[in-house]
Amino acid sequence: MIVFYKKAVIGLLLSIVALIGTACSTTETSSKQASVKLIQDESVPYIGFLLDTLEEERWYKDKQLFEDHVKSLGGQVKTLAANGSDAVQLVQAQLLIEEGVDVLVVVPHNAEEGAKIVELAHKHKVKVISYDRLITKSDLDYYISFDNKKVGVLQATEIVKHTPKGNFVYIGGAETDHNAVLFREGALSVLQPLIDKGDITLLADQYTEEWNPKNAENNMKAILTKVNNKVDAVVAANDGTAGGAINALSDVGLAGKVSVSGQDAELNGVKRLVAGTQTMTVYKPIPVIATQAAEMAYQVAKDKTITTDTTINNQKTDVPAILLEPMPVTKETIKSTIVKDGYLTEEEIYRK
């Protein structure tokens, strides 16, 4: 089941925050054991999945795969999406805790604001797994994602293969998303030596508020105007920002002439690979992260200890982490990667 909060009801939800705050002040000593699960069999692990948004294509895939795998393991799951609101996401966490969830799996809207969810959950003896995006400055229990610095390395490396010299632009994601910071760090680890050498001039380096493609498009338009369209390559943090940048390039006749990176292997991004307007995307196998996260959540809900191979410092503690491998995708490798995995079909990608 999913409850997808539209912007029209955000005001109502914000008013609930005050009520919840009052309730919490009188129930500081309450615990998970005091909650009543809204399922028939209380022995069944009950997992809450908190998404930032469902306004981006990829999160529908995460949702469905995660839910299906939890159910196949014998658990129950409820997914809530906050539509890009920190306040709504906190309310949703409270609601799931009141329903008696055993563990929360969270894709935070804002890395720092997500710490409030961790604090709230721990008061009720509910553990938190940060999914794909790291919750910072908190005593987070677990983190599962891809090697996000490597994502940035893959993006910049592929663009440099196509355009080894010239005027570059970096279009990042939302600065409030720790992943966006890591993507940029990875990309600059490739670009900086070439900048220092004089092969590349970085004309602009900026984040994109809310990961919004329209914001990316407007930023790219402003850059093109400022430099009189003298741009050779764009390293864009994901397929959404890439699409915005490509729209701006198209307006001045440069789409397909400027190398552009992306990420997430979204259908529209992959279609742009075929069309030649986008150079590459990064495929992060969603079935892998969704199923592994579901298994992790199920085990945590049963009070099992999770074995991880590394830790990630979230500016407060070293969080036990599982980091998965991303892979680059170009027009030539579509069939051997995302089609082979069944992530997208040839009919979806190539039909006109």
Q: What is the pLDDT of residue 17?
A: 42
One domain for residues 205 and 273: yes
Residues 121-140: what's their mean pLDDT?
A: 97
Residues 88-113: what's their mean pLDDT?
A: 97
Cβ-contact 207, 180 below 8 angstroms:
yes
One domain for residues 124 and 45: yes
Reading the block at residue 309, the tokens are 């191979």
**Cα angle: 223, vertex 246, 59; to 5 degrees:** 115
Residues 80-97: what's their mean pLDDT?
A: 97
Q: Give the domain extent around 82.
A: 2-140+285-324
One domain for residues 37 and 70: yes
Least confident stretch, 20-34, 159-173, 188-202, 332-346: 20-34
Q: Which residues lie across from 106 on neighbouring strands? A: 50, 130
Q: What is the pLDDT of residue 290?
A: 97
Q: Report the share of the chain in percent with pLDDT over 70.
A: 89
The answer to whether residue 15 scores a pLDDT higher than 80 is no
Residues 286-293: what's their mean pLDDT?
A: 95
One domain for residues 244 and 257: yes
Q: Report the share of the chain in percent with pLDDT over 90.
A: 84
Q: What is the pLDDT of residue 311?
A: 97
Residues 177-183: what's their mean pLDDT?
A: 95
Q: Which residues lie across from 46 on neighbouring strands? A: 76
In angstroms, the CA 263 to CA 70 distance is 26
One domain for residues 191 and 336: yes
Residues 252-269: what's their mean pLDDT?
A: 97
pLDDT band at 13 (very low <50, low <70, confident <90, very high): very low
The answer to whether residue 109 scores a pLDDT higher than 80 is yes
Reading the block at residue 43, the tokens are 């022995």
- The DSSP result for 101-123, as a single string, is -SEEEE--SSTTTHHHHHHHHHH
Sign of CA dihedral 293, 296, 300, 305: negative
The answer to whether residue 14 scores a pLDDT higher than 90 is no
Report the chain's mean pLDDT, rounded to a whole number.
90
24 vs 166, residue with greater confidence: 166
Q: What is the pLDDT of residue 31?
A: 40
Q: What is the pLDDT of residue 57?
A: 79
CATH of the domain at 112: 3.40.50.2300
Residues 289-315: what's their mean pLDDT?
A: 96
One domain for residues 108 and 81: yes
One domain for residues 239 and 301: no
- Write the DSSP symbol of residue 132: S
Provide the number of structural domains found in the chain.
Answer: 2
pLDDT band at 317 (very low <50, low <70, confident <90, very high): very high
One domain for residues 92 and 186: no
One domain for residues 116 and 179: no
pLDDT band at 42 (very low <50, low <70, confident <90, very high): confident
The answer to whether residue 40 scores a pLDDT higher than 80 is no
Reading the block at residue 19, the tokens are 């009520």
pLDDT band at 114 (very low <50, low <70, confident <90, very high): very high
One domain for residues 277 and 136: no
One domain for residues 7 and 82: yes
Burial of 25 (0-12, 13-18, 19+ CB in 10 A): exposed
The answer to whether residue 99 scores a pLDDT higher than 90 is yes
The answer to whether residue 21 scores a pLDDT higher than 50 is no
One domain for residues 65 and 171: no
Residues 184-196: what's their mean pLDDT?
A: 98
Residues 169-176: what's their mean pLDDT?
A: 96
Residues 273-280: what's their mean pLDDT?
A: 98
Q: What is the pLDDT of residue 344?
A: 93
Task: For 202, list phi and psi in degrees, rounded to 5.
Answer: -90, 100
